[in-house]
Amino acid sequence: MSAATSPAPVPLLQEGLAYWEELVNECKRQMNAINAAAMDHGLVAEHLIEWIPGRPLDMIRRQTPSTEIKLNLSFERWGPVISGAIKGHQQEDLRFYPEELEVPLGRDEECTVAIFDEGRSLSPREFAGYIAQRFRRCFPDLSLPCPE
């Protein structure tokens, strides 16, 4: 293959994969902390958040009010992007307005960060906290934990 036809390297490939792995681990940690707090308040297993195994990050609380969060990592020609959707039901027949995310990853000083429209840059831990707080409608009487 000549240099003229070889594909261009994907910017921030390794950094994007490392960020994604850390984000997945942090989301699991946040989910476990929320579930532990919910169980401490007397909720049973079917009212907790579930982790759906697979490549996309997928967490769901099935009981109403419900929330499902799906995120995926893709690589565009300019670099890695985390995209996804947050949807659910406030009541059985009443969906809440879905939220869609398209968050590019970039470099900020010495680390890889998610860059939001507002110009905020979030570490994997901060992004996981942002995502986990979307479950607050599911647990209105519970202050959601933010593990350190």
- Quick: pLDDT tens for 52-104: 998 789 999 999 999 999 999 999 998 999 999 999 998 888 788 899 999 99
Parse the chain into domains and list their residue ranges.
13-138
Query: In sequence order, which residues have a C-beta less than 8 Å from that of residue 62 and are 6 or more positions away?
Result: 46, 50
| pTM for this prediction | 0.89
| Average per-residue pLDDT for the chain | 90
Instruction: Report CA-CA distances (Å) from 1 to 5, 7, 8.
Output: 6, 10, 13
